Structure 1
Amino acid sequence: MANLTKNDIAWNTLFARYDLLTKIRNDGYFEITAAQINEERESRLMAKFDHSVNLPAIFKEHHLSILPLSRTKYIVGPFRTHFTIASDLEKQHVFFEIPHNIESISFPNLNSESLALNYAYIAGLITDFLGEEAYQTLSGRMSTGCFGFTINNRSITVENSQCEIDAGFESDNYLLLIEAKNYAVDDFLIRQLYYPFRLWSSKVHKKVIPVLMTFSNDTFTFYEFQFTDISHYSSLILTRAVEYSLQPEPISSDDIMALLQSLSPAESVEGIPFPQADKFERVIDLLGLLTEKELTKDDITENYQFDIRQTQYYTDAGRYLGLIDKTTDGDCVTFRLTDNAIKIFNSSYRNKYLGIIAAMLNKPIFYAVFKESLHNGAVPSRDVIVTIMQEANLSISGTTITRRASTVSSWVNWIWGQIEV
Structure 2
Amino acid sequence: MSETNLNQLAWTSLFEKYDIFNQLETHNFFNITSTQINQFREARLMTKFDNTSQLPNIFSKNGIGILPTSRGSYTLGKFNIFHKFEEIPEEVEHYRFCNIYESLDFNNISSESTAISCASISKILDDFIGEELVSTVSGRMGTSTFEFSLDKFHTKKITVEKAQIEIDGGYEGEKSFVLIEAKNYISDDFIIRQLYYPFRKWKETIQKEVKNVYLTYSNGVFELREYAFTDIEGYNSIYLVKSKRYAIYNIVINVEIIQQLILATAIEPEPLDTPFPQADSFERVIKLCELINTSEILSKDEITENYDFDSRQTDYYLNACKYLGLTEKAFKDGGIAACLSSKGKAIFKKDISSRRLDFIKLILAKTVFRKTLELYFNKASMPTKDEVVLIMKESKLNKVTSEETYSRRASTVLGWTNWIINQIEE
Give the C-alpha shift of residue 312 in structure 1: 2.0
Distance in 2 between the 1:231 and 1:353 partners?
44
Match of 2:161 in 1: 159
Give yes or no for the alignment of 1:342 onto 2:345. yes
Q: Indicate how the Cα distance of structure 1 residues 206 and 102 shifts in structure 2: closer, same or farther if over 3 A, else same.
A: same
Structure 2 residue 221 is matched with structure 1 residue 219: yes
Deviation, structure 1 residue 402: 1.8
Aligned partner of 2:199 in structure 1 is 197
What residue is the counterpart of 1:401 in the other structure?
406
Q: Does residue 1:10 correspond to 2:5, yes or no? A: no
Secondary structure at the counterpart of residue 383 of structure 1: helix
Is 2:64 the counterpart of 1:96?
A: no
Q: How many angstroms apart in 1 are the aligned matches of 2:357 and 2:25?
A: 55
In 1: Cα distance, 2:25 partner to 2:147 partner = 23
| Most deviating of 293-302 and 170-179 | 293-302
The answer to whether 1:79 aligns with 2:84 is no
Q: 1:314-353 counterparts in 2 under 5 A?
A: 314-329=317-332, 332-353=335-356
Query: Deviation of residue 116 (structure 1)?
Result: 0.7
Task: Show structure 2 runs of 5+ residues with no match.
Answer: none
How many Å separate the matches in 2 of 1:65 and 1:222? Answer: 26
Local SS of the residue matching 1:69: strand
Match of 2:41 in 1: 41
Preserved CA contact (<8 Å) 1:265 1:361: no
Structure 1 segment 19-418 matched on structure 2, within 5 A: 19-87=19-87, 89=88, 94-152=93-151, 153=153, 154-246=156-248, 249-252=251-254, 253-254=256-257, 256-258=259-261, 260-270=263-273, 272-293=274-295, 294-329=297-332, 332-373=335-376, 380-391=383-394, 392-398=396-402, 399-418=404-423
Measured in 2, the distance between the counterparts of 1:245 and 1:7 equals 38
Give the superposed CA RMSD: 2.8
How far is 1:48 from its partner?
Answer: 1.8
1:391-418 CA distances to partner (integer Å, 9 max, x unpaired)?
A: 4141222212221122122212322332
Work out whether residues 64 and 76 of structure 1, in 8 Å CA contact, stay in contact via their aligned partners in 2: yes
Q: 1:141 to 1:339 in 2, by over 3 A?
A: farther
Q: Decide whether aligned partners of structure 1 residues 175 and 139 sit closer, same or farther in structure 2, where only a CA change above 3 A counts.
A: same
Q: Is the 1:177–1:209 contact (alpha carbons within 8 Å) kept by the matching residues of 2?
A: yes
Q: SS state of the match for residue 70, structure 2? A: coil
| Count of aligned residue pairs for this structure pair | 419
Query: Cα offset for 1:347?
Result: 1.7
- For the structure 1 residues 206 and 382, does the alpha-carbon distance in structure 2 shift closer, same or farther, using more than 3 Å as the test? closer
Counterpart AA for 1:155: K
CA spacing shift, 1:241–1:388, aligned 2, 3 Å = closer
Shift in Å at residue 43 of structure 1?
A: 2.2
Cα distance change, pair 36–298 in 1 and its aligned pair in 2 (3 A): farther
Deviation, structure 1 residue 377:
5.3
Distance in 2 of aligned mates of 1:360 and 1:92 = 22
Which stretch of structure 1 is more off in the superposition, 320-329 or 91-100? Answer: 91-100
Amino acid at match of 1:395: K
Go from structure 1 to structure 2 and tell me whether the alpha carbon gap of 1:32 and 1:269 turns closer, same or farther (over 3 Å shift): farther
Give 1:351 shift: 1.4
| Residue deviations 1:317-354 (CA, integer Å, cap 9, x gap) | 11221212332346533333333223213323331112
**Does structure 1 retain, via aligned residues, the 8 Å contact 2:249–2:352?**
no
Say which SS state the counterpart of residue 116 (structure 1) adopts: helix
Deviation at 1:85, TM superposition (A): 2.8
Contact 2:219/2:287, CA 8 A, preserved across alignment: yes
The structure-2 alpha-carbon separation of the partners of 1:327 and 1:16, relative to structure 1 and needing over 3 Å to count, comes to farther
